[in-house]
Structure 1
Amino acid sequence: MATKTPKIRFSRFDAAWEQRKLGDIATLINGRAFSQNELLEQGKYPILRVGNFYTNGSWYFSNMKLEEKFYAARGDLLYTWSASFGPHIWEGEKVIFHYHIWKIELTEKLDKQFALFLLDKDKDNLLSGSNGSTMIHITKSGMEEKKLWIPKDKTEQKKIGTFLKKLEETITLHQKKLEHFKKLKESLLQNMFPREGEIFPRLRFPEFTDAWEQRKLGDLMDVSSVKRIHQSDWTQQGIPFYRARDIVAYFKNQVPNDCLYISKEKYEECCASSGKVCLDDLLVTGVGTIGVPYLIKNLEPLYFKDGNIIWFKNKGVIDGKFLYYSFNGSSIQRYIKESAGTGTVGTYTIENGRRTPIYLPSKSEQKQIGELFSNLEFLVTLHQRKLAQLKKLKTCLFNNLFVN
């Protein structure tokens, strides 16, 4: 019998792993096939379908009493094998499981939690056809013939399963925290800025009671762009040169994978006629994904593509963070979409930028609102990065805690 060892082991375990067919160490049971007219909107027994694990929250029911093998109880190991693929430990009440789901009954040779992660790690291999294409489904016989590497010692299996379960729970926790802060930000954006036609926000700091004033940005600051840079002026290093897609990437807390630059000499030449961006100025995308803001937070030199990006020369007229988050709010975003036109490719122009309406409170209220959203954005970014790190760690452990 073939044997191998993984790259990373828990202490005290040094025995080689053995290769076994899944069908020799587990039994796969197909769910019940239902015709469409057998699926009821209401009934006695809920029917678990593939979509209920992923994106479909609606349930069908049946009034038929079936053989016990067609029911999944809490703690059963299930595997979806059509449309979406992968193992799950069922955490709900007793249900009928649909034909496109297998219930996997394990022998004493396999720990359930270990088997969950082993099958999860291996699902990409199961879906790879001989020609490299992704198969529409996998067969029960093909699954039973699948060869898997397992440790002989079930204690090692339990160690691996328990460790990865804790990691998975940590990932889920950070995912929930991230979603919480995103929803909080969205709610505050809707309520801490006045809605269209109103002069008071629905939610504000208690020390502020005055009405907000609506102004057009072109009446408060210069709105323009810069001198054109040609493709022949691009370099591999020097002064950062931003396109609209670069600003969209930074807005999503991503780093562009094809950054561009211009020489310092070209930068100085162009700035002599266009000027240089200043602290708290705002750049806003005018093409592609329009209306995406980028706040100038320091005096590091940068240049950008004319026509693609609108330059709001704030010069401290409005608190920079408040201006940035105003462009995140529904009022300005609605104006940008309406002013961009109904054509195939909408554009946000300099003239539309000048006409952009903004609601303004006192400078002190602007500052508090800007700081609040900035702190909230920090928490969103923090959990995004932590989540990305944890997912990378999971991938690394999958590649090293199991035999490939």
Structure 2
Amino acid sequence: MFPKDGANIPEIRFAGFTDAWEQRKLESICGKIRNAFVGVATPYYVEGGHFYLESNNVKDGQINRNKQVFINDEFYKKQKNNWLHTGDIVMVQSGHVGHTAVIPEELDNTAAHALIIFSNYREKVDPYFLNYQFQTHNSKKKLGNITTGNTIKHILASEMKNFQVDIPKYEEQKKIGNFFRQLDDTITLHQRELNSIKDLKKSLLQQMFI
């Protein structure tokens, strides 16, 4: 559903769309491409404060809160210029580099650590479309070409400004973004059901062998 390298039309397409896609640099789409806080944040961790979005919360195009870190009010307010807003895209910049996610409404005004932030779109764009494009084989290959480091991989926000993406008109972006979001929602639903069944099995086994 995304063009192959060197092509400007995808092989699989929703009905009604025939226009060629454009290849664009991210800086022509996103008004701001910058780093979230990258210093030491552990002194500001608290038991229950402001949720702090970190790289381990971003995987495979989605945000998970399996492991949560919270920061105090003072440190949170210092990050105000880099707070995340609904529709922003974040990318892991160290470790499992290139993994991205879109900021949902419930995480508006969240602070983040060691992530690249894409925001202030210069035009009407579907962030979920861009999010899924980062997960394609072609994008992962291009990301690999600008990743540095042997033991710990790293990518720079400045490198992402010239990163090229394939862009169709907004209506087609929206169609593709919604399609993959529905797939992710279905996977999440079945995963929860599977986890519930596993928990039930574990509980029954414990009761039967007491």
Q: Common fold, TM-score beyond 0.5?
A: yes
CA gap of 1:95–1:37, structure 2 versus 1, over 3 A, is same
Determine whether 1:72 maps to 2:84. yes
Provide TM-score, normalisation by structure 2: 0.77
Q: Distance in 2 between matches of 1:37 and 1:49?
A: 12
Determine whether 1:61 maps to 2:65. no
Deviations 1:239-294 (A, max 9, x none): xxxxxxxxxxxxxxxxxxxxxxxxxxxxxxxxxxxxxxxxxxxxxxxxxxxxxxxx
Q: Choose from 149, 153, 165 the match for 1:148.
A: 165
SS of alignment partner, residue 180 of structure 2: helix
Structure 2 counterpart of 1:104, one-letter code? F
2:23 corresponding residue in structure 1: 19
1:268 corresponding residue in structure 2: none
Determine whether 1:4 maps to 2:21. no
Q: Choose from 141, 146, 157 the match for 1:125.
A: 141
Q: Distance in 1 between matches of 2:47 and 2:144?
A: 39
Q: Choose from 78, 94, 115 the match for 1:101.
A: 115
Q: Choose from 128, 131, 149 the match for 1:116.
A: 131
In the TM superposition, residue 74 of structure 1 has moved relative to its aligned partner by 4.2
In the TM superposition, residue 43 of structure 1 has moved relative to its aligned partner by 7.2
Q: Distance in 2 between matches of 1:174 and 1:104?
A: 31
Q: Distance in 2 between matches of 1:130 and 1:47?
A: 27
Q: Distance in 1 between matches of 2:157 and 2:50?
A: 25
Mark the runs of 5 or more structure 1 residues left unpaired by the alignment: 196-404
1:160 corresponding residue in structure 2: 176
Runs (4+) off by over 6 Å = none
Deviations 1:177-201 (A, max 9, x none): 111112211211111x232xxxxxx
SS of alignment partner, residue 35 of structure 1: coil
Provide TM-score, normalisation by structure 1: 0.42
CA gap of 1:7–1:167, structure 2 versus 1, over 3 A, is same
Q: Distance in 2 between matches of 1:36 and 1:104?
A: 22
Q: Distance in 2 between matches of 1:166 and 1:37?
A: 36
The number of equivalent residue pairs is 190
In the TM superposition, residue 71 of structure 1 has moved relative to its aligned partner by 0.8
SS of alignment partner, residue 39 of structure 2: coil
Q: Distance in 2 between matches of 1:80 and 1:144?
A: 15
SS of alignment partner, residue 46 of structure 2: coil
Structure index of larger Rg: 1
Mark the runs of 5 or more structure 2 residues left unpaired by the alignment: 1-5, 60-64
Q: Distance in 2 between matches of 1:118 and 1:168?
A: 14
For CA contacts below 8 A with separation 6 or more, give which structure has more relative contact order.
Answer: 2
In the TM superposition, residue 119 of structure 1 has moved relative to its aligned partner by 1.7
